[in-house]
Amino acid sequence: MLLFLGAFALFYIWHGLGVTIGYHRLLSHRSIECRKALEYFFVLPGYLSFEGSPIWWATIHRAHHRHVDTNLDPHSPRYGLKNAYAGWFTKKTYPAHINPEEQAPDMLKDKLYLFLEQGGDWRKAHVLSYAVNIGFRLILLYYFGWTVALASYLAAVLVLQIPLMLNVVCHIPKLGYKRFHSADDSVNVWWVAVLALGEGWHNNHHRYPGSAKTGISFWEFDLSWLVISALNRLGLLDRVNIAPGKQVRLANWKKKTMVQSR
């Protein structure tokens, strides 16, 4: 049991950072920049948590920010919880208004990402992803036994649920709080931030989508940012974007003034 729990915890953090740092902050928002080897190091555990093609993931997420909580948003809860959670990725290919050539041209230059994309056919890309993921667990089974393989599989499946859940929970205003006034429904939800290694401070993120740090107050714990900050101190990152302190304070001041004036 101890082996299973220890392996599960390690795989959960490994896969989780693959999503939060690799897929989200690095690829989707380019809030950090590093050498290709380190980029792949973080993208790999994201891919091994059934997240699918990196180009597909980044394209959809960038489209979400571009069309947030409108009828063009791929997964806004305003237009149905089922679609917001899982229905959006059951399609065969991209909707007409979402195009990787427009949303993610920077990623189309990478031959590995192009291969995983499978020509934009979502079903082929998902099948490839599932095959690689299952193959990875079979390798773990062969070399380390069923306990480690099962821990890895369950951790990956749980990590897969986190961004799907976040798409819903963090866009239902009554479930969280807004630090910044916005026309969209994004809110900060503390328990999502815990499960998602810092991604639950979603209203902060929508205010500063290009920031590698989403937790602003000292109590808004952001594990992914701590890892990014440590890598930066070690000289492993070429660039790190964070929301300028003056802008954050100004936005907070405007919010307080607006609330008091009501």
How deeply is 256 buried, as exposed, middle or buried, from its count of CB atoms within 10 A (0-12, 13-18, 19+)? exposed
Mean pLDDT rounded to a whole number for the chain: 92
What does residue 34 show for φ and ψ, rounded to 5 degrees?
A: -155, 180
What does residue 137 show for φ and ψ, rounded to 5 degrees?
A: -70, -30
Q: What is the pLDDT of residues 20-70, one digit of tens each?
A: 999 999 999 999 999 999 999 999 999 999 999 999 999 999 999 999 999
Report how many domains make up the chain.
1
Pairing of strands 237-240, 32-34: antiparallel
Beta carbons within 8 Å of 17's beta carbon, 6+ residues apart? 42, 45, 197, 224, 227
How deeply is 86 buried, as exposed, middle or buried, from its count of CB atoms within 10 A (0-12, 13-18, 19+)? middle
What's at 160, amino acid-wise?
L
Q: Which of 198, 157, 199, 204 is CA-nearest to residue 179?
A: 204
Residue 253 has pLDDT above 80, yes or no: no
Q: What is the pLDDT of residues 85-125, one digit of tens each?
A: 988 988 889 999 999 999 999 999 999 999 999 999 999 99
Q: Residue 247's pLDDT is what? A: 53
Q: Give the rounded percent of residues in the chain with a pLDDT score beyond 70.
A: 93
The whole-model pTM stands at 0.91
**176: domain range?**
2-261
Residue 249 has pLDDT above 50, yes or no: no
Q: Residue 256's pLDDT is what? A: 37
Residue 181 burial (CB count, 10 A): 12
